[in-house]
Amino acid sequence: MQESLERDLIDTVNPITASWNFLSDTYHRLGSPREFYTISRYTTPIFGILFLTLSLIGTYFGLFVAPADYQQGDSFRILFVHVPVAWMSMFIYIVMATAGAIGLIWRIKMAFVVTICSAPIGAAFTALALLTGSIWGKPIWGTYWVWDARLTSELILLFLYFGIMAVYYAFEERKVAEKATALLSVVGVVIIPIIHYSVEWWSSLHQGATVFAEGGPKMPAEMLLPLAFMAVGFMFFYGYALFLSMQNRVLENEHKSRWVREMVIRQGKNNELVRFFLHGRLRLRGLDLLGFNIIGASRICDFS
């Protein structure tokens, strides 16, 4: 009786404990640059494939299946890009500031890497949100730009991203630069609620909350579904771009450590070194254009 009760208890607790252990183990492994590098080499392509699949499905349904808006006609379809991109611009900031706070409080190296690598991606999403918004604004509002609360605060967010990137580059010592960047991103977090509530606080040309409105979304399912696909797809794109950029930075930061050297030598033996660099460069060129990414691989070349 006693035994079976204990067994029952273990049986019910086990899956939870096991999954908790797995999560906490993964979390701690991600805290180490080397482990992160190994894990992310497998997860990054998955993120990329998920992004492509979801966003292609979302694009198809958004362009061909969703009905035209009764007021805005077909021009509303830019919503499927504009809204997820604008969400991401704020979401990335929150991730960046949270990682910065984690890094400052618990002194975790990888958290700073998340902060620094998120900034250019977030800035790109913010710029894209402003761009798609103004393209949408022309036929509907009759103007590309108005000095309105939502637009202005989104523009402030863009400048904040630029400031955070500028701080990182201003310091010569990397550890100080990382901490200063993290601190500024935490300070700047006050701007997020201002952007989020700007449409409610001030009378604005920009439409109010439609999806996360009180009493459920004010949108038919045929429009909501592609939007959800696009939003989740972009989330995976962020994961993909972030991990690529982080891998790069980890290699650069750790280029003197043993595991990086050993890896390069190992890959050189298999005659994959050249392929690795070419491939790495090719993959990273897109992010490189954003001006934040320094090719870690080129540093590795110096000693090999």
Partner 1 sequence: MFRNTSSLIQPLVFFIIIALLFPFSLPAEGELLQRIGGGVIWVSAVLATMLSLESMFHSDYQDGTLEQMLIHPRSLPLAMLGKALAHWTATGLLLTLFSPLLCVTFNIPSEQIWVLFAGPLLGTPSLSLIGATGAALTVTLRRGGVLIAIVILPLYIPILIFGAGMLTQTAQGLEVASQLYALAAILALSITLAPFAIAGALRVTIN
Q: Among residues 178 and 254, whose Cβ is nearest to partner 1? A: 178
Contact 265, 304 (CB under 8 A): yes
Residue 115: both structure tokens together: 């902060």
Q: Report CA-CA distances (Å) from 160 to 119, 153, 189, 225.
A: 10, 10, 10, 32
Give the nearer residue to partner 1 in terms of CB position, either 141 or 162. 162
Among 141, 145, 162, 197, which residue sits at the site for partner 1 (rule: CB under 8 A)? 162
Q: Which residues contact 100 (CB under 8 A, 6 or more apart)?
A: 111, 112, 115, 181, 182, 183, 185, 186
Least distance to partner 1, CB of residue 257, Å: 23
- Residue of 141, 163, 225, 283 interacting with partner 1 (CB under 8 A): 163
Tokens 């030598």 sit at which residue?
265
Judged by CB under 8 A, does residue 196 bind partner 1?
Answer: no
Nearer to partner 1, 154 or 252 (CB): 154
Q: Kindly provide the b/e burial profile for residues 164-188, where b requires at least 16 CB atoms within 10 angstroms of the residue's own CB.
A: bbebbeeeeeeeebbbbbbbbbbeb
In angstroms, the CA 158 to CA 175 distance is 25
Site string for partner 1, 68-107 (x = CB under 8 A): ------------------------------------x---
User: Both tokens of residue 212?
Assistant: 């996360």
Instruction: Please list every residue from 223 through 282 that binds partner 1, using CB under 8 A.
Output: none
The footprint of partner 1 on this chain (CB under 8 A) covers a number of residues equal to: 22
Applying CB under 8 A, the residues found at the interface with partner 1 are: 104, 152, 156, 159-160, 162-163, 166-167, 170-171, 176, 179-180, 183-184, 186-188, 190-191, 194
